[in-house]
Amino acid sequence: MTDTKSVSIEILAEEMYQLVAESAGKRNMKPGDLAKELIAKHGPACSKDDCKKALRILIDSGRCVYSYLGGSFIQLPPKPGAEL
C-alpha cells in the first residue's frame, strides 16, 4: 500500500538541511530531533524511514556530517581551513 500523499525523499532532505543550517552554532540537532520535526510538519505523509533515507542523502553527498559530542549530532561540514 503506497500513500499517494507522501513527501519525496529529496524534499525531506532539503528541509532537513535547512533545519540543520538554521540551528548551526545555536543548537546541535540529533537525527531523532530532525525526524520528529519533519513528521510533525508533514504528518502521516512522512515516516521515520523516509527521514532516515533523507538523512542518508545528506550524509552521502557531504552536505551534512555526523559529529560525536557525547552523542550523535548532525551538523554542517567544517569549512575548509577551519580548525576542528
Q: What is the pLDDT of residues 4-50, one digit of tens each?
A: 478 899 999 999 999 999 999 898 899 999 999 999 999 999 999 99
> What's the mean pLDDT in 76-81?
83
CATH number of the domain that residue 20 is part of: 1.10.10
- Whether 83 is in a domain gets the answer no
The DSSP code for 76 is P
Q: Do the beta carbons of residue 12 and residue 56 sit within 8 Å?
A: no
Q: In this structure, is residue 80 part of a structural domain? A: no
- 84, part of any domain: no
- Cα(73)–Cα(29) distance, integer angstroms: 5
- Kind plus residue range of the DSSP H or E element containing 65: strand 65-68
User: For the chain, what is the domain count?
Assistant: 1
**Structure pTM?**
0.84
Structural domain includes residue 82 = no
Assess if residue 13 is contained within a domain. yes
Q: What domain range includes position 65?
A: 9-75
